[in-house]
């Protein structure tokens, strides 16, 4: 099957510099999504990328504007891809596969607002209404640049457009997918510092949630930027949750010491905001229920770990969650004119 690629690029702006000149991310406000039980997470296969597509049930037209959901219904695929309205009327795309997994993707900011198991359990940290696109501190969202000059635009605050939807013809199941695009000349913002086009594909494969982000430089000059796939994952209790798989990673804090054995990071009670560089492609977040969310990445070199203090969770000013976000901050991405950058990630659940 032939799949047309768009030609995009990205926005230039670096993070502030920390000790030894390492970039450090700008802090985000405390999150306030609803706590959801993780106890029914079940054993799932390890992530494996299947980058080739075998068939296409439906392709929708390119370049449709992100207007009301009613104007986008031709992108729907019965049983697999639905165009729905968020609480404030902005459109979102609901993906559902044959295994019973589902994901909701907002066009506002290209945010994956929910990822739900066949049992009905929510895996992501979400607000009370996952369809409310005004609630920004939740789910999974691509961010580039991560910080910028005053007035500059950013991907997570811009309206994306549906490029295509698909559901592959496979013997056992169809993989629903939506491809969203953002470009400097179509986003409605004059604040982008150069010409670019970004393409973000979100799909479901069995128990896997997949992200494929491509950014193309359409400008006549090289562009440099930092990026992050900001991911909010629900946990049972923050202090007992752990990030597993940090072998060989380095941190920007020289005084940092892992509270537990080598490659394992215990989140603890005090809250955390930490950047790790040169992180392995495979990580697990132990959510405290005997299960973990596994992340497999390609093209993301670093990871940012954020969690609220236990006291904030007790007061109800934050939910029990961890932001485990793959990123490019140690060495910003550089794209030459006419070139592109690509980063992929999958999430799935595993038993510990």
The structural domains of the chain, with segments of one domain joined by +, span 16-44+63-351
> Which stretches of the chain score pLDDT less than 50?
1-66, 130, 132-134, 148-151, 188, 254-261
Sheet containing strand 250-251, edge to edge, reads 81-85, 91-96, 102-106, 112-116, 140-143, 223-234, 321-335, 302-307, 272-277, 250-251
pLDDT at 138: 82
Any idea which fold 16-44+63-351 has? Beta-galactosidase; Chain A, domain 5 (2.70.98)
Residue 310's H or E segment, with its range, is helix 310-315
Closest residue by Cα to residue 130 from 227, 237, 208, 232: 232
Beta strands in 86-186 (DSSP E): 91-96, 102-106, 112-116, 140-143, 161-167, 176-183
pLDDT at 253: 57
Assess whether the previous peptide bond of 202 is cis (omega < 30° from 0): no
Closest residue by Cα to residue 307 from 34, 109, 39, 28: 28
pTM here is 0.75
Residue 250's H or E segment, with its range, is strand 250-251
Residue 314's H or E segment, with its range, is helix 310-315
**Cβ-proximal residues to 261 (8 Å cutoff; 6+ apart), any chain:** none
Cβ–Cβ under 8 Å, residues 180 and 107 = yes
* Backbone φ, ψ for residue 316 (5° rounding): 85, 10
The contacts found for 75-83 with CB under 8 angstroms, 24 or more apart, are: 75/162, 75/164, 75/165, 75/178, 76/165, 77/165, 77/166, 77/167, 77/176, 80/167, 80/174, 80/176, 81/165, 81/166, 81/167, 81/176, 81/177, 81/178
pLDDT at 299: 97
Q: How far is CA 97 from CA 1, 93, 101, 147, 167, in A?
A: 20, 13, 6, 36, 9
Length of the chain: 352
């Amino acid at each position: 099957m032939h799949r047309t690629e768009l030609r995009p690029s990205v926005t230039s702006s670096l993070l502030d510099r920390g000790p030894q000149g390492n970039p450090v991310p700008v802090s985000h406000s405390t999150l306030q999504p609803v706590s959801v039980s993780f106890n029914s997470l079940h054993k799932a296969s390890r992530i494996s990328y299947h980058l080739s597509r075998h068939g296409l049930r439906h392709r929708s037209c390119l370049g449709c504007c992100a207007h009301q959901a009613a104007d986008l219904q031709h992108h729907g695929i019965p049983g697999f891809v639905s165009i729905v309205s968020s609480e404030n009327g902005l459109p979102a795309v609901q993906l559902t596969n044959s295994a019973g997994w589902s994901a909701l993707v907002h066009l506002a900011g290209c945010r994956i607002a929910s990822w739900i198991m066949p049992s009905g359990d929510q895996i992501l940290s979400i607000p009370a209404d996952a369809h409310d696109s005004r609630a920004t501190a939740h789910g999974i969202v691509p961010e580039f640049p991560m910080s910028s000059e005053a007035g500059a635009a950013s991907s997570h605050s811009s309206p994306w457009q549906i490029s295509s939807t698909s559901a592959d013809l496979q013997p056992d199941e169809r993989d629903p997918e939506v491809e969203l695009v953002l470009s400097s000349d179509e986003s409605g913002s004059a604040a982008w510092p150069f010409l670019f086009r970004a393409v973000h594909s979100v799909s479901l494969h069995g128990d896997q949630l997949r992200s494929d982000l491509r950014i193309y430089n359409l400008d006549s000059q090289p562009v440099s930027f930092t990026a992050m796939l900001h991911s909010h994952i629900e946990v049972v209790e923050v202090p007992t949750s752990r990030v597993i798989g940090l072998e060989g990673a380095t941190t920007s804090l020289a005084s940092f010491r892992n509270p537990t054995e080598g490659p394992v990071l215990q989140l603890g009670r005090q809250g955390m905001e930490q950047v790790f560089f040169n992180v392995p492609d495979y990580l697990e977040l132990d959510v405290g229920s005997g299960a973990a969310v596994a992340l497999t990445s390609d093209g993301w070199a670093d990871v940012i770990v954020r969690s609220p203090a236990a006291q904030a969770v007790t007061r109800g000013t934050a939910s029990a969650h961890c932001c485990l976000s793959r990123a490019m901050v140690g060495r910003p991405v550089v794209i030459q004119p006419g070139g592109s950058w690509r980063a992929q990630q999958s999430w799935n659940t595993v038993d510990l």
